[in-house]
Amino acid sequence: MPASKILLTGSTGLIGRSLTPVLASAGHQVVPLIRQASAPPGSIGWDPMADTTDPAPFEGADAVIHLGGENLAQGRWNAAKKKRIIDSRVRSTALLARTICRLRRLPRAFLCASATGFYGDRGDEELTEESPAGKGFVADLCQEWEKASKPAAETGIRVVHMRFGAVLSTAGGALAKMLTPFKLGLGGPIGNGRQYLAWISLDDAMAATMHLLDCPLAGPVNMIAPQSVTFRQFARTLGRVLHRPAFFPLPAPIARLVLGEMADQILLTSTRVVPRRLEQDGFVFQQPDLETALRQILAKRPA
């Protein structure tokens, strides 16, 4: 995409923080959407929970990237937390879709985050973008999340549902939380370790997002590295990279006791996802296998 005006939500999140300078270095004007009435210069203030918003500040946008949403892995799930998770994704996406449909010149693309949780707990079944939705809270959430962008697609805007798995980085997310116990030699698989983990490095997540700005793809796109691994394989690989043992599992009953419903919905589910549409469209992963990715992320080299 030529130098463009790009609206970005979630600019303070793990992906957004890193994506902003990448977009700017490519010549794009990045305009963050900030959840406050009086936004700093160069940004737009908005209320994601509102039923409507003034479209005037959105005029001139060539693309919208929507990464905002309540952190699923922060805090124990209860009714209030689950409502915030739903509202922060579904209502905000619906508001953005309705707003950009009212612009005098429609954006060319609306890239909206989703998650591989769409597929639910599927064992060792290989999952592509054509696989049906699964069951459970997260799967239901993802379906409603993606449906919320329908008005934009019906208006002719190219809408992409970016189904992210675990984004690996030392700056945040699952890997950052794992590092301390693994460095202490207390790391290991979660549950029986046989469940598949959908993962992608932060660098590849950003590169794939940049690819989607320019390519013609629309609809669901799995933002996942091509190498499938189980939690047991992940633990062993991380332990090897850190030169630490990885023999201390977190049993499923303990995970459920500590984390409640979130354990079953995120940590103990198995999603063996493949990035079929990205690969068919010619996207080349820079960190396609787990050990290479972890060594580069942690600035490690083979012994």
H/E/C letters for each residue in the chain? CCCCEEEEECCCCHHHHHHHHHHHHCCCEEEEEECCCCCCCCCEECCCCCCCCCCHHHCCCCEEEECCCCCCCCCCCCHHHHHHHHHHHHHHHHHHHHHHHCCCCCCCEEEEEEEHHHHCCCCCCEECCCCCCCCCHHHHHHHHHHHCCHHHHHCCCEEEEEEECEEECCCCHHHHHHHHHHHCCCCCCECCCCCEECEEEHHHHHHHHHHHHHCCCCEEEEECCCCCEEHHHHHHHHHHHHCCCCCCCECHHHHHHHHCHHHHHHHCCCCEECCHHHHHCCCCCCCCCHHHHHHHHCCCCCC
Question: Do 110 and 160 meet the contact criterion of CB atoms below 8 Å apart?
Answer: yes
pLDDT at 175 (0 to 100): 92
The strand pairing partners of 220, in sequence order, are 161
Q: Which residue has the tokens 């201390």?
A: 248
Report the C-alpha gap between 230 and 219 in whole angstroms. Answer: 27
Question: Do 35 and 9 meet the contact criterion of CB atoms below 8 Å apart?
Answer: no
pLDDT at 3 (0 to 100): 65
| Domain positions in the chain | 5-297
Calculated CA dihedral for residues 98, 12, 169, 1, nearest 10 degrees? 50
The strand pairing partners of 6, in sequence order, are 30, 63
Number of Cβ within 10 Å of residue 216's Cβ equals 8
Its pTM surpasses 0.85: yes
Mean pLDDT, contiguous 10-residue spans, the chain (303 residues): 87 94 96 85 91 91 95 86 94 96 96 97 97 96 98 97 96 90 90 95 97 97 96 95 89 83 87 97 97 91 50
Compute φ and ψ for 233, nearest 5 degrees.
-65, -40
The strand pairing partners of 127, in sequence order, are 273
- The CA-atom distances, in angstroms, between 3 and each of 6, 27, 30 are 9, 5, 10
pLDDT at 253 (0 to 100): 86
Q: Going by C-beta distance under 8 Å and a sequence separation of 6 or more, which residues neighbour residue 169? A: 14, 18, 175, 176, 201, 202, 297
Indicate the CATH number of 5-297 among 3.30.420.40, 3.40.50.720, 3.30.160.250, 3.50.30.10: 3.40.50.720
Question: Do 146 and 220 meet the contact criterion of CB atoms below 8 Å apart?
Answer: yes
Report the C-alpha gap between 114 and 165 in whole angstroms. Answer: 9
- Terminal CA-CA length for the chain: 41
pLDDT at 301 (0 to 100): 52
